[in-house]
Amino acid sequence: MKKKEVFFSSVFITISYALWAALVLFLFIIDFSSKRWVIDTISIFQVINVNPYFDMVRLHNSGAAFSFLSDASGWQRWFFIVVGIAAISWFVSLLIDAIRSSSFLLAASLALIIAGALGNTWDRLFFGYVVDFLSFHYNEWRYPAFNAADTFISCGACLYICNAIKEHRAHSKRY
């Protein structure tokens, strides 16, 4: 590679890092702001009926997904903080590799996952629990309440699976 090509390639990668970091920060701010609004507006356990299928409800989840380990004695807070920090670190390294290899779909999935993990880890670190407030239901059936960070993680996981399928198909066609 010529010096000029190396320069422009490194500038492009640096700009890409900044753009993906800005997306992660933007999503984190959405999650943080929505939880802050809920804390400032809705009392704990208060239910605000939005429509027949959706409520806003303020819940504090000291466990993981679907309140897993929420009734433990308190050790789970620090366990989930350590797991969150480890996961964020690992996903950031994967994001760096995805940016270097120009894999847009993989980078998008990882940015969503990182933003969601940051949001929930932040809550655990500073509150000791995760603020959940989105509650969907139909008749007597209720889906467990969740938040924006959980949505980012779920969407990121779906994109990650789509990327894996795309990569698998591309790899299968070569052989």
Contact 99, 16 (CB under 8 A): yes
Instruction: Respond yes or no: is residue 150 known to be catalytic.
Output: yes
Query: Which of 31, 55, 123, 150 is flagged as catalytic?
Result: 150
- DSSP-derived 3-state class of residue 140: coil
Instruction: Respond yes or no: is residue 132 known to be catalytic.
Output: yes
Beta bridge partners of 57: 47
Query: Which of 31, 55, 123, 132 is flagged as catalytic?
Result: 132
Residue 148's nearest CA partner among 159, 133, 166, 136 is: 133
CA distance 175 to 159: 25
Distances (CA, A) of 170 to 43, 95, 139, 163, 167: 51, 20, 44, 10, 5
Distances (CA, A) of 81 to 130, 141, 164: 11, 31, 28
Catalytically active residues are 132, 150
